[in-house]
């Protein structure tokens, strides 16, 4: 078709179009970029709504609200913090106490708690003035009112609800601290104010687990009856409950709803277990935690401690003092002198034999030594002597425990010679402990076994446990002596094929 005579020639139009496009692009490039809109603008003399103010505050602060654990987020951890081994500054303790028991428990807390560990002691009411002299790292907090939560167990105490909620209150408080550039902990350890920890052994136990995973660590009761009544699958709170921090946060968010669902449970530890079970987490048993659901003389239990290092002891006010002739406070100070000198070895049982004199020696390091005439087989010494009585007493109570037991001869003349820790000294990574004879009360001197033996000296290198390495009982040698009043014993590592036996 022909082109109209009055139109623009087609050839001229095709030439002009590229030039026009270049001109438009050039103008666009010369224009300045527009400024971003403000975060929030308000018309003059106009008050924003409450919702708008909250939204603006969140945008300006660039951090979530710290008012509750459910909305808290930790600041990013540094590489150094994540890579270093778990130490006391990675652990925070939540300790259940009360206004009444606080003065009674402070001496024990001063024995084991030390910097840089952090501990929060939760009371049911403000302490009396003046404020007590607290050990370093311990802070007092008054628990929030828990009266709105039901408690229907017929024999327990409603304070179990208050104690169970310590996790939520503590996580919330620490998350607020983290908002001020504090690094988050790795572990939350829950306990009672009458629980004593051997902190190096606690750290060793925690280092065996990845703190970024959901771990629930602790131990059952020693009493089979207590476990049958309250549960075999839960960690008993007095012995101590260790929860990795990510799991502690999840527990804190769910705890109040769990408390509402379980008003019929007895204690706080049962509520924590129920909530963790709902979160899909089961107990990992750590044998170094000890609930001590026992009464009376627990020396039989302590003399046959398992190879796992001692982590905790509970209910110390319900048992006899650990060492005869001392009150509880003096006895615990004496115990911690040994525990601080060689924490990994405290209560570790070592057995050796004197073949020439036909003697068997069983050492619970830092605590006591037993010497028997004749050959006592090792499995018999590893069983716990029932020097104690059950936690619950009555006609229907069964005398069953979660470990092998054996009866103690009623006739003291038929028992071994018993020695308790007297002195301890350390030098050049070695310890020397002495143990003094505890004479039997109901046995005449003529019938007293090994009546001339009065003092035992034990030498050992400080025990160094390597993470990931299997635990093995140590051996010992009785040093030949011309005297029957003293005995020297050296503890050492067993040879590869060495048997702990009188005749091998």
| Overall residue count recorded for the chain in this entry | 504
Give the number of other Cβ atoms within 10 Å of residue 34's Cβ.
6
CA distances from 35 to 25, 32, 38 (A): 21, 9, 9
Residue of 310, 309, 191 whose CA lies nearest to 240: 191
- H helix intervals, 322-477: 328-341, 378-382
How far apart are the C-alpha atoms of 98 and 118, rounded to whole Å? 19
pLDDT at residue 484, as a whole number: 87
Pairing of strands 417-427, 368-373: antiparallel
Q: Where are the beta strands (DSSP E) in 173-289?
A: 187-192, 196-197, 216-218, 241-244, 284-285
CB-based contacts of 172, cutoff 8 Å, min separation 6: 66, 67, 68, 69, 72, 252
pLDDT at residue 151, as a whole number: 97
Low-confidence ranges of the chain (pLDDT < 70): 1-81, 178-182, 395, 504
Residue of 217, 221, 244, 266 whose CA lies nearest to 91: 244
Evaluate whether 310 touches 205 at the Cβ level (below 8 Å): no
Domain 69-73+84-285 architecture: Alpha-Beta Complex (3.90)
Sign, CA dihedral 301-305-306-308, equals positive
Q: Where are the beta strands (DSSP E) in 53-137?
A: 91-96, 118-123
pLDDT at residue 5, as a whole number: 41
DSSP 446: G
How far apart are the C-alpha atoms of 350 and 456, rounded to whole Å? 14
pLDDT at residue 481, as a whole number: 82
Give 284's strand partners. 217
- Coil, helix or strand for 141? strand
pLDDT at residue 181, as a whole number: 53
Give the number of other Cβ atoms within 10 Å of residue 309's Cβ.
24
Which pair of tokens denotes residue 221? 């009761």
Sign, CA dihedral 271-272-278-283, equals negative
How far apart are the C-alpha atoms of 468 and 475, rounded to whole Å? 21
Burial class (CB in 10 A: 0-12, 13-18, 19+), 262: buried
How far apart are the C-alpha atoms of 498 and 494, rounded to whole Å? 6
Phi first, then psi, for residue 352 (nearest 5°) are -140, 165
Pairing of strands 405-406, 368-373: unpaired
pLDDT at residue 504, as a whole number: 63
Residue of 329, 136, 296 whose CA lies nearest to 222: 296
Give the number of other Cβ atoms within 10 Å of residue 93's Cβ.
24
**Residue with the two structure tokens 């505890």:** 438
**Residue with the two structure tokens 């619970």:** 364
Please work out, in degrees rounded to the nearest 5, the angle formed at the alpha carbon of residue 147 by the alpha carbons of 143 and 149: 105
pLDDT at residue 83, as a whole number: 76
């Amino acid at each position: 078709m022909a082109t109209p005579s009055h139109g623009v020639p087609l050839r001229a139009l095709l030439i002009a179009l590229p030039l026009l496009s270049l001109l438009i692009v050039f103008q666009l490039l010369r224009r300045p970029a527009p400024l971003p809109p403000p975060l929030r603008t308000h018309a003059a003399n106009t008050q924003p709504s409450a919702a708008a103010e909250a939204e603006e505050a969140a945008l300006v602060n660039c951090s979530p609200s710290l008012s509750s654990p459910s909305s808290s987020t930790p600041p990013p951890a540094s590489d150094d913090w994540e890579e270093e081994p778990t130490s006391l500054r990675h652990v925070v303790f939540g300790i259940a106490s009360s206004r009444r028991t606080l003065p009674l428990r402070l001496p024990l807390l001063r024995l084991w708690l030390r910097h840089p560990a952090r501990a929060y002691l939760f009371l049911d009411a403000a302490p009396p003035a003046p404020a007590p002299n607290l050990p370093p790292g311990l802070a007092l907090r008054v628990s929030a009112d828990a009266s709105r939560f039901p408690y229907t167990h017929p024999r327990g105490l409603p304070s179990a609800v208050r104690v169970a909620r310590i996790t939520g209150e503590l996580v919330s408080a620490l998350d607020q601290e983290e908002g001020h550039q504090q690094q988050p902990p790795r572990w939350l350890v829950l306990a009672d104010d009458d629980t004593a920890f051997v902190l190096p052994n606690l750290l060793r136990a925690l280092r065996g687990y990845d703190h970024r995973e959901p771990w629930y660590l602790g131990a059952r009761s020693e009493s089979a009856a207590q476990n049958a009544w309250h549960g075999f699958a839960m960690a008993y709170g007095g012995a101590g409950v260790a929860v990795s921090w990510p799991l502690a946060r999840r527990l804190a968010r769910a705890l109040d709803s769990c408390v509402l669902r379980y008003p019929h449970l007895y204690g706080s530890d049962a509520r924590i277990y129920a909530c963790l079970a709902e979160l899909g987490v089961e107990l990992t048993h750590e044998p170094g935690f000890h609930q001590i659901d026992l009464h009376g003389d627990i020396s039989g239990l302590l003399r046959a401690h398992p190879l796992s290092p001692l982590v905790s002891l509970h209910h110390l006010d319900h048992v006899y003092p650990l060492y005869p002739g001392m009150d509880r406070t003096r006895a615990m100070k004496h115990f911690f002198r040994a525990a601080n000198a060689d924490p990994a070895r405290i209560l570790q049982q070592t057995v050796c034999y004197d073949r020439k004199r036909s003697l068997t020696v069983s050492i619970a390091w830092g605590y006591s030594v037993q010497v028997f005439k004749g050959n006592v087989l090792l499995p018999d010494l590893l069983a716990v002597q029932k020097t104690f009585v059950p936690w619950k007493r009555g006609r229907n109570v069964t005398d069953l425990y979660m470990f092998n037991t054996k009866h103690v001869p009623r006739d003291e003349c038929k028992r071994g010679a018993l020695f308790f820790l007297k002195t301890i000294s350390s030098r050049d990574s070695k310890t020397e402990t002495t143990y003094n004879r505890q004479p039997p009360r109901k046995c005449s001197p003529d019938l007293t076994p090994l009546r001339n033996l009065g003092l035992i000296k034990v030498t050992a290198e400080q025990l160094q446990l390597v993470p990931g390495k299997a635990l093995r009982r140590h051996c010992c040698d009785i040093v030949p002596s011309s005297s029957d009043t003293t005995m020297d014993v050296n503890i050492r590592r067993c040879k590869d094929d060495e048997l702990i036996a009188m005749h091998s």
